[in-house]
Chain A
Amino acid sequence: MGGAERTARKRKQTTQAARAVAAARGGNDRRNVIIGVVIVVVMAVAVIGGVLYTRNSSTSGGAGDIPVTAAHAQYPTKVEDDGTVLAGNESAKVTVDVYEDFLCPACGSFEKLYGEQLEKAVADGKVKARYHILNLLDRYSNPAGYSLEAANAAIAAAGTGKFPDFHASLFRTQPKEGGKGYTQDQLVKLGQAVGISGGDFESAVRGGKYNEQIKKQLEAAGNNPALQRESAQGKSFGTPTIAVNGTMVDLQDAEWLKKAIEQSGQG
């Protein structure tokens, strides 16, 4: 047995092994490509299909006209320079400041619970209400910004005298927090449906006529010490907040409005 023979055998073994490794690696490469394609396809189908499905199922709810809800009583309104809406008789003894946001579910509950009492008291002239319609939850519609657009539209509606129905409608069929919110088109159409005519309202809605005043009102409310609620981490402002003659009231007390009227001697 010579050295040449051993060398030849060794070389043969080496090439065999190298070829096997190359073959195995080539096979793995192809499998890796297949698996990579499968991963991309599965993720793409899941994401694109899912997003389309969500979009279809969520637009079907809020795409039509906003239903009109008549207020429980009609009352006169006036838009103040600061962007608040003064409702009712200006010489009424009791002033109820109402801080609310059209996207805020608790404000919807407030309107359901006390809206009728308040509207009637304002219409009777026993109290005047100052509505501070705020954009506190601007970030919580998708896309963001419904709170501001709805607030602006409601103030514009107040300028035409149709605030009571416009306001009641937006709270009665309130968009879900985290949902789409109504568009400018829908707000303009609601205005027409409650009887607003002329182009001023539409241009105010589309142009964001009261946006700056609304933002200033929110800032002022956030900085007003009389409107802060206690919580574990200090005081904070939230909606709805109701103040009677400047003092915040406890909405757990179902009689708050009745008491305020009684205390003013109007019983």
Chain B
Amino acid sequence: MAVGMPARRSVGDLLGTLVRFGLAAVWLVSGAIKAAAPERTYLSVQAFRVLPDALAGPVAAVLPFVELGLGVLVLFGVGTRVVAALSCLVLLAFVAGITQAWARGLSIDCGCFGGGGDVAPGETRYPEELARDTGFLALAVWLLVRPRSLLSVDGWLGLGRPARDGDDGDDRDEPVPAES
């Protein structure tokens, strides 16, 4: 039954692995930079002028570690589809934040990778920031649509393989499904 699987797996899964590592790097780097400079992170959250003062503190405190957590999960490929969906939500929130700042004529730096806060009016870079986040969003969407990749916890658990009648036959370490 399991004919032709290795060929179908190789190219797409290899690409998926690269996408996964790319998205993991984005989250880990941006999360680490934000975690290392909590004052800066708070200022960049405030600069968007979206959240009430009482919420800006907690959001700035939590955000770096949400990013780091997502980074670790994406890196190891744990629940890739769910984590990709969460990544999409966070990235969409960033895109919405930058878009409203641009639309309202604020002059801020998004602080996506450190920095952030108010900048001189001539120094905004909204198109670049949005293009970059859209690129990251594309990575997350790829994993949302096609979560399967090599070197992932999901793969070791045998997740994301098409259910076929009986045993896959090609897996060395797949746990035996319990009869119910």
Which residues of A line the B interface, CB within 8 A? 16-17, 19-28, 30-32, 34-36, 38-39, 42-43, 45-47, 49-51, 54-55, 58, 139-140, 142-145, 176-179, 231-233
Verify A47–B43 contact, CB threshold 8 A. Answer: no
CA distance in complex: A50, B69 (Å): 10
Whether A47 touches B62, Cβ cut-off 8 Å, given contacts A26-B178, A30-B178, is: yes
CA distance in complex: A47, B60 (Å): 11
Residue of A nearest to B49 (CB): A139
Pull 23 A–B residue pairs with CB atoms less than 8 Å apart, ordered by A.
Answer: A20-B165, A24-B163, A24-B164, A24-B177, A26-B180, A31-B157, A35-B154, A36-B82, A38-B73, A39-B78, A39-B82, A46-B66, A47-B62, A47-B66, A51-B61, A51-B62, A54-B61, A139-B46, A139-B56, A140-B46, A142-B39, A178-B38, A178-B117
Interface size counted on chain B using CB atoms at 8 A = 48
Verify B56–A144 contact, CB threshold 8 A. Answer: yes
- Of A22, A46, A51, A55, most B-chain CB atoms within 10 Å: A46
Residue of B nearest to A49 (CB): B65
CA distance in complex: A10, B90 (Å): 51
> For window 8-54 of chain B, which residues contact chain A by CB distance below 8 Å?
35, 38-43, 46, 53-54
Q: Does B150 contact A (CB under 8 A)?
A: no
CA distance in complex: A93, B143 (Å): 72
A234 to chain B, nearest CB (A): 8
Whether A176 touches B159, Cβ cut-off 8 Å, given contacts A20-B166, A27-B177, A50-B64, is: no
Residue of B nearest to A30 (CB): B178
Verify B73–A47 contact, CB threshold 8 A. Answer: no
Q: Does B79 contact A (CB under 8 A)?
A: yes
In the assembled complex, which residues on chain A have CB atoms less than 8 Å from the CB atom of B41?
A: 178
Q: Does B175 contact A (CB under 8 A)?
A: yes
Verify A232–B121 contact, CB threshold 8 A. Answer: yes
In the assembled complex, which residues on chain A have CB atoms less than 8 Å from the CB atom of B105?
A: 233
B40 to chain A, nearest CB (A): 6
In the assembled complex, which residues on chain A have CB atoms less than 8 Å from the CB atom of B158?
A: 27, 31
Verify A58–B79 contact, CB threshold 8 A. Answer: no
Instruction: Pick the contact of A232: B46, B120, B166 (CB < 8 A).
Output: B120
CA distance in complex: A243, B125 (Å): 34
CA distance in complex: A144, B49 (Å): 13
In the assembled complex, which residues on chain A have CB atoms less than 8 Å from the CB atom of B79?
A: 35-36, 38-39
Whether A233 touches B121, Cβ cut-off 8 Å, given contacts A23-B177, A39-B82, is: yes
Instruction: Pick the contact of B178: A23, A34, A179 (CB < 8 A).
Output: A23
Verify B65–A233 contact, CB threshold 8 A. Answer: no
In the assembled complex, which residues on chain A have CB atoms less than 8 Å from the CB atom of B39?
A: 58, 142, 176-179
A252 to chain B, nearest CB (A): 16
CA distance in complex: A223, B148 (Å): 59
In the assembled complex, which residues on chain A have CB atoms less than 8 Å from the CB atom of B176?
A: 27
A136 to chain B, nearest CB (A): 12
Instruction: Pick the contact of B122: A16, A23, A28, A232 (CB < 8 A).
Output: A232
